[in-house]
Amino acid sequence: MRKLQILRLVEARPSISQNEISRQLSYAVSAVNRTVRELQTDGELIRNPEGWHVTDKGRRLADELSAAYSSQLRALGHAPFTAGTSGREPVGIGLVRSLGTAVPLVAKELGMFDAAGIRIEERLYDYAAQILQEMHDGRLAFGYGGMAACLEERSEGTDAEFLAACNSGGHALVVKRSLGITSIADLRQKTILVPPEGTVAHRLLSTFVRSRAPDVFETLCLDTSVSPANMLYALQLNSQYAGMVIWEPWVSLAETNSQDLVVLIDFAKSWQDAVGKSYSTSVLCTLAKTVTDEPDLVRKILRIHRSTIEFLNQEPEEANRVLADVLNMPLDVIQAGRRRVSFHSDLQW
In the DSSP assignment, the letter for residue 147 is H
Q: Which of 53, 51, 58, 82 is nearest to 4 (CA)?
A: 58
Strands 51-54, 142-146: pairing is: unpaired
Q: Count CB atoms within 10 A of the CB of residue 153.
A: 21
Please determine, for residue 86, whether its predicted confidence score (pLDDT) is greater than 60.
Answer: no
* Sign of the CA dihedral running 238, 240, 243, 247: negative
pLDDT > 70 fraction of the chain, expressed in percent and rounded:
86
Over residues 154-206, the pLDDT tens digits come to: 555 567 888 999 999 999 999 999 999 999 999 999 999 999 888 889 988 99
Q: How far is it, in rounded angstroms, from Cα 127 to Cα 136?
A: 15
pLDDT of 122 = 93
Radius of gyration for the chain, computed over Cα atoms and rounded to the nearest angstrom: 22
Over residues 193-240, the pLDDT tens digits come to: 999 888 889 988 998 898 899 999 999 999 999 989 899 999 998 999
Q: Is 12 helix (H, G, I), strand (E, B) or coil?
A: helix
Q: Which of 141, 50, 132 is nearest to 104 (CA)?
A: 141
Over residues 33-56, the pLDDT tens digits come to: 888 889 989 999 888 777 788 898
Q: Is 172 helix (H, G, I), strand (E, B) or coil?
A: strand
Scored b (16 or more CB within 10 A) or e, 241-279 reads bbbbbbbbbbbbbbbbebeebbbbbbbbeebeeeeeebb
Instruction: Read off the pLDDT of each residue in 119-131 and give the average, rounded to a whole number.
Output: 91
Q: How far is it, in rounded angstroms, from Cα 324 to Cα 15?
A: 30
Helices (H) and strands (E) in the chain, counts: 17, 13
Q: Tell me, which fold does domain 2-75 have in CATH?
A: Arc Repressor Mutant, subunit A (1.10.10)
CB under 8 Å to 9, separation ≥6 — which residues? 16, 21, 24, 25
Instruction: Read off the pLDDT of each residue in 272-293 and give the average, rounded to a whole number.
Output: 83
Residue ranges with strand state E in the chain: 45-48, 51-54, 91-96, 120-125, 142-146, 160-168, 171-176, 191-193, 221-223, 241-247, 261-266, 280-287, 342-343
Q: How far is it, in rounded angstroms, from Cα 69 to Cα 63?
A: 10
Show me where the domains of the chain are located.
2-75, 91-167+287-343, 171-275
Q: Tell me, which fold does domain 91-167+287-343 have in CATH?
A: D-Maltodextrin-Binding Protein; domain 2 (3.40.190)
Fold match between domain 2-75 and domain 91-167+287-343: no
Going by pLDDT thresholds of 50, 70 and 90, the confidence category of residue 288 is: confident
Average pLDDT along the chain: 85
CATH 1.20.1440.230 fits 171-275, yes or no: no
Cross-strand bridge partners of residue 121? 92
Asked if the peptide bond before residue 196 counts as cis, ω within 30 degrees of 0, the response is no
Going by pLDDT thresholds of 50, 70 and 90, the confidence category of residue 73 is: very low
Measured CA to CA in angstroms, residue 152 lies from 90, 132, 225, 348 at distances of 28, 11, 21, 16
Q: Which of 171, 170, 175 is nearest to 262 (CA)?
A: 175
Over residues 291-306, the pLDDT tens digits come to: 988 999 999 999 999 9
* Sign of the CA dihedral running 52, 55, 61, 64: positive
pLDDT of 133 = 86
Please determine, for residue 3, whether its predicted confidence score (pLDDT) is greater than 50.
Answer: yes
pLDDT of 15 = 73
